[in-house]
Amino acid sequence: MSDEVKKGLEGVVVAESALSHIDGDAGKLIYRGYAIEDLAREASYEEVLYLLWHGSLPNRDELDSFSESMADERSVDEDVLSTVRRLAEADADPMAALQTTVSMLSAYDPDDSETDPEDYEANLRKGRRITAKIPTIIAAFDRFRNGDEPVEPREDLGHAENFLYMLNGEEPDEVLAETFDMALVLHADHGLNASTFSSMVTSSTLSGVHSAITSAIGTLAGPLHGGANQNVMKMLKEVDDADQDPVEWVKNALDRGDRVMGMGHRVYNVKDPRAKILGEKSEELGEAAGDTKWYEMSVAIEEYMQEEKGLAPNVDFYSASTYYQMGIPIDVYTPIFAMSRVGGWVGHVLEQYDDNRLIRPRAKYVGPENQEFVPLDER
């Protein structure tokens, strides 16, 4: 057995998956063979969920009944809502609150709490319920901490539109609803990223869907993964508040040895295709509002990082200014990432159950050997 260490599992292939594929040299991303650009332009988040979970794009009837089944599941139990309230009042981190609450949902799920990896339909139902309820939890959390009561989900609105409605208490205009739906499509799946992998590790022990998604939320929260989007916006705000040149700010950050959030990627060697689409959205929103400063600052940073470090933006770089211009609170950006990526997590958990083997790598031992044990009182 080789003891070669593949730090960060870089380049290690651990599973087969039919869900999504990244060509890191060409900057291409597909979900089940469909180009992300086509899905972003043409498909709703519900269509993408159906594609990921059922293997093909739905026809009109299939989409209608799928969307209805999602909308039916949006409400959360009163006990869950009161936990969300308590977490909001305790000023919990929004991702920690989401993780706790998703874990709690398992107690209220009508399907059996025992996990049968062969019961695909039951596991899919659990995944669908979690996906349907996450927006309700995020919106309620934000409202509670602002001293407002949560807004009941509406069954007549799409997944994206209903979230913005619950968050703000009013229906979003068409541009905002479509932009947000597109952002959800763009974040839905991305190969074996860290959070997806952690959901697979958890499900490989035959632990349940709720438990796998809870693991994934914790993994997504970190700044090297989903937490990057809010840090990008904090950076842009800091530059703006100090009235600084963004390139000078970045130079200083790099001199200090800091990483520039939203830049670089393990798999892409060129610009992330999702960043291209979100960059255009960020610019469009700025133009519509008559102020493109966030977009322009971002472009200046992108150009400098490309020239100086050969690093290109990832999905988090332009989602930050896009969400900011949509009026979404900064610390809700990562929960929104979870709200979308849960589609991919559920898909990968189902794939894992379908062809399971316990995920259990090894470490190369570098600690001492043959130590002589000294009893406590003699040390």
- The answer to whether 199 and 349 are in contact (CB under 8 A) is yes
> Given the complex with ligand COA, which of 101 and 298 has the nearer CB atom?
298
- The answer to whether 159 and 181 are in contact (CB under 8 A) is yes
The secondary structure of the chain in percent helix, strand, coil, rounded to multiples of 5, reads 60, 5, 35
SS (H, E, C) 174-239: HHHHHHHHHHHHHHCCCCCCHHHHHHHHHHHCCCCHHHHHHHHHHHHCCCCCCCHHHHHHHHHHHH
User: How would you class 67 by CB atoms within 10 Å of its CB: exposed for 0-12, middle for 13-18, buried for 19 or more?
Assistant: buried
What residues act catalytically?
Answer: 225, 265, 316
Stretch (H or E) spanning 67: helix 60-71
Nearest distance in Å: CB 8, ligand COA: 5
CA distances to 65, 127, 243, 320 from 236, rounded to whole Å, are: 42, 35, 10, 9
What is the spatial distance between Cα 102 and Cα 100, in angstroms, rounded to a whole number? 6
Residues that bind ligand COA (CB under 6 A): 8, 224-225, 228, 259-266, 309, 311, 314-316
> Given the complex with ligand COA, which of 323 and 353 has the nearer CB atom?
323
Nearest distance in Å: CB 304, ligand COA: 11
Nearest distance in Å: CB 248, ligand COA: 16
Cβ-Cβ contacts under 8 Å for 84 (sequence gap 6 or more): 76, 97, 101, 137, 140, 141, 144, 150
- The answer to whether 370 and 9 are in contact (CB under 8 A) is no
> Given the complex with ligand COA, which of 164 and 260 has the nearer CB atom?
260
Nearest distance in Å: CB 268, ligand COA: 9
Nearest distance in Å: CB 316, ligand COA: 5
